[in-house]
Structure 1
Amino acid sequence: MCCVTVIQSQDGWRVNYPQTDVCAAKGSTVKISCGYTYPPGIRYSDIKDRFWFTKEKDGEPVDLKTDSEYSGRVKYGYYKRTLIITDVRESDSAEYKFTLMTNKTGEKYTGSPGVTLSVTGLQVQVRRSDSTWLELTCHSSCVLSGHPEYVWYKNEKYIKTASSLLVSSASTDRYSCYLGGSSGQRSPAVYGPQRPSVSASPSAEMLEGDSVNLTCSADANPAANYTWYKEHEDSPRASGQIFTITDFTAEHSGNYYCEAQNEMGRSNSTLRLITSSGKSHSFFCSLTHYINNPTKEVTHRKRGL
């Protein structure tokens, strides 16, 4: 953020902005201020209007208080020298200028360039500290003013106020944050992959030599990466949500493991494919679920012919 006072002047008119670049968290309240002077011969009573604007219509600035996009969210303080915007949105990112108009026809002065506001949403960044701990930090795309502290939530409940957070790498909880001292919106929660859903298509009877698509999907933030393994094999068979087996034969039967993994953890499911003798085969699908601890499993079975 720039903290140097910038003065715009012309013929005795002067507007100064203490800050020309302001960064704010989405949902918070922002204050932008200025000071001004006017030339000799102009009295205070000669200034009929003064306001903040970002747009012009027919060559004339549009008062933010009349702009429908800011309806109910804009207030002026200290003789309109302070602009207050509540519940800021990313669409509020713009250049804000202060203008003065006198009783004399067509006489006005605008402090230009103005103040650039950047509105950013917060995101939780995950970094593995070691094999036991993860470090969570609340991140914005621009530098927030001062020394911001963040309020942390676990599973929608407040836990602490701190610049960062250490959590167990085996945690299955959801963590989010927002900027302390504001009414800003919380960041999206981060969490490890939930129970993966695995399926085979087609799931009905097929002839040998046909293809089958194995699909794995898990709810996770950050988004999960997927890896497919076959039982008793060390090397992965494929990566990505969909694994296609072409020219299906009896040798392809067996257990296929889908692992969904992100920075917060991992989760596994198993799909069992069994071929019958002859030209066709049937599926016997067994789904086995692990989250972080492979000793915990939940099994679901269904049979199709």
Structure 2
Amino acid sequence: MSPQRSANITAAVILISLAGKLDQQWGVTYTPEQVCVLEGSSVDFSCSYKHPGGLRVTKSVWFINEPETEVEPVDLQEYDQYKGRVQSTQTDCRMRITGLRESDTQTYRFRFYTDDPDGKYTGRPGVRVSVSGLKIKVSDTQRGGKKLTCSSTCTLPNSTYIWYRNGQPVSECRSASCSVVVVSGEVSYSCAVEGHHLSSPPVYPPKDTRAVVLPSAERVEGDSVTLTCSSDADPPVLTFYWFKQRAAADKALGTGQNYSITNISSQHSGLYYCTALNQLGQHSSTPTRLDVFSDWWKQYTVWAAVGAVPALALSLLTAVLCVQRKRRAERGADVQTPKPEDDMYTALDPTTTSSSDYNTLTHVTHSPNNTYSALNPAARTSSDYDTLTGVGLHLVMSGALDEENN
């Protein structure tokens, strides 16, 4: 090996050694490096840092997004989602975030700057913060009961749990898991961690179960219907059961949220209900009625609609005829019909001739203008004979009536 090459290798080793020593003079230590916290709570970050002697820290930032090369990171307090929730100082390696949200689950890093333009450092990998809510998991026990477990997405250190039944604390259970019997009725369970205001969403058996028949319009034989069941439950409903009410015993029809019947007939009429089942219990709906009409009912409806038009026309015609008849009757009432007692000649008394009415007859008889005296008895073709015959008939009938009255 030549002396020149040996000198180059020695110089490289010295530079690497010096770089390692310089690198050991920079650093950030986080305590702890992983944190599990609940939604709504606060978290405190703590760390320590070091740098070569003779330098003074002038600025520091906490950030979440690793910037590209030669680009400075954005201070956490500049983000809208963190404004008003971050507390930190320019040179202190401490920070607090309040009102934690699930979106705050991130890796947080600390970077500091010195009075040397090249003297700046970022501590990696940073602090991993996991923000979790609480959720109850339900499982079966060997004795037929139910095991409730208050769980989170990360491990909460040294936590004491509080259980609630219908909003009231359950004193006999303080651990993350509790055993309960199968729930019946409107009962709910929830859990919380002591020292925190966050509670889990409650778990409960099905409630507000409801059965409906679709479509809701009038149904006739040959149509198709679908029975639909809905229920509020947490954990979600595992199975829906359908039944038809009967006097002796209800008939089980099948399972599923929807139950369809095709080509229905009058035999399908009746009351139907559904039962919703989850891991904590069951609940049945109020029966809903299915009415199926015979096909003749549809035809009758059509016939009735078709016959309505001529029936209406007939009613109008009858009304018009009645009005016309009433008007004719009113006009006829205005014409006076002569009464028998108004006939001058039939009212004469044949036993006396002293009545002034006889004078009228005498005058008619001897009048030179008497039409009937001028008649030719040999010829009876004159129209005057018709008039005389009518008058004679009238007098004869009047005389006969007088004889009967006597």
TM-score (norm 2): 0.59
C-alpha change, 1:36 and 1:66, in structure 2 (3 Å) is same
| Matching residue's letter, 1:155 | N
Task: Return the alpha-carbon distance in structure 2 between the equivalents of residues 78 and 173 of structure 1.
Answer: 52
Max radius of gyration: which structure? 2
C-alpha change, 1:166 and 1:66, in structure 2 (3 Å) is same
In the TM superposition, what is the alpha-carbon distance from 1:197 to its structure 2 partner? 1.5
Task: Return the alpha-carbon distance in structure 1 between the equivalents of residues 278 and 297 of structure 2.
Answer: 38
Deviates more, 1:102-111 or 1:185-194: 102-111
Higher RCO by CA contacts (8 Å cutoff, separation 6 or greater): 1
Equivalenced residues, count: 267
Alignment of 1:155-170 (within 5 A): 155-160=166-171, 161-170=174-183
C-alpha change, 1:91 and 1:170, in structure 2 (3 Å) is closer
Task: Return the alpha-carbon distance in structure 2 between the equivalents of residues 159 and 134 of structure 1.
Answer: 16
1:129-185, CA deviations, whole angstroms, 9 ceiling, x for partnerless residues?
A: 3667432211112222x23222223333444443233334234222222222234x2
Answer yes or no: is the 8 Å Cα contact 1:124–1:136 preserved in 2.
yes
In the TM superposition, what is the alpha-carbon distance from 1:83 to its structure 2 partner? 2.5
Which residue of the other structure, out of 74, 82, 87, is the alignment partner of 1:70? 82
Alignment of 1:113-128 (within 5 A): 113-128=125-140
Which residue of the other structure, out of 92, 104, 118, is the alignment partner of 1:80? 92
Q: Pairwise CA RMSD of aligned residues?
A: 2.8
Question: In proportion to residue count, which structure has more helix?
Answer: 2
Task: Return the alpha-carbon distance in structure 2 between the equivalents of residues 203 and 68 of structure 1.
Answer: 51
Determine the structure 1 residue equivalent to 2:272.
256
Answer yes or no: is the 8 Å Cα contact 1:193–1:224 preserved in 2.
yes
Q: Does 1:221 align with 2:221?
A: no
In the TM superposition, what is the alpha-carbon distance from 1:98 to its structure 2 partner? 0.9
Task: Return the alpha-carbon distance in structure 1 between the equivalents of residues 57 and 91 of structure 2.
Answer: 12
Answer yes or no: is the 8 Å Cα contact 1:65–1:74 preserved in 2.
yes
Task: Return the alpha-carbon distance in structure 2 between the equivalents of residues 38 and 264 of structure 1.
Answer: 60
Task: Return the alpha-carbon distance in structure 2 between the equivalents of residues 96 and 178 of structure 1.
Answer: 27
In the TM superposition, what is the alpha-carbon distance from 1:239 to its structure 2 partner? 1.0
Q: Which SS does the other structure have where 2:204 is aligned? A: coil
Structure 1 gap segments, 5+ residues each: 1-8, 282-305
| Matching residue's letter, 2:121 | Y
In the TM superposition, what is the alpha-carbon distance from 1:279 to its structure 2 partner? 4.9
Answer yes or no: is the 8 Å Cα contact 1:205–1:280 preserved in 2.
no
Identity of aligned residues (%): 38
Deviates more, 1:171-180 or 1:56-65: 56-65
Determine the structure 1 residue equivalent to 2:308.
none
C-alpha change, 1:278 and 1:131, in structure 2 (3 Å) is farther
1:64-87, CA deviations, whole angstroms, 9 ceiling, x for partnerless residues?
A: 233221122222389632332222
Determine the structure 1 residue equivalent to 2:158.
147
Task: Return the alpha-carbon distance in structure 1 between the equivalents of residues 44 and 151 of structure 2.
Answer: 21
Q: Which SS does the other structure have where 2:207 is aligned? A: coil
Determine the structure 2 residue equivalent to 1:101.
113
| Matching residue's letter, 1:129 | T
C-alpha change, 1:70 and 1:157, in structure 2 (3 Å) is farther
Answer yes or no: is the 8 Å Cα contact 1:76–1:82 preserved in 2.
yes
Answer yes or no: is the 8 Å Cα contact 2:61–2:111 preserved in 1.
yes
Determine the structure 2 residue equivalent to 1:175.
189
TM-score (norm 1): 0.77
Determine the structure 2 residue equivalent to 1:237.
254
Determine the structure 1 residue equivalent to 2:17.
none
Task: Return the alpha-carbon distance in structure 1 between the equivalents of residues 116 and 90 of structure 2.
Answer: 24
Q: Which SS does the other structure have where 1:195 is aligned? A: strand
1:164-216, CA deviations, whole angstroms, 9 ceiling, x for partnerless residues?
A: 33334234222222222234x22111111113111111222123121112111
Question: In proportion to residue count, which structure has more strand?
Answer: 1
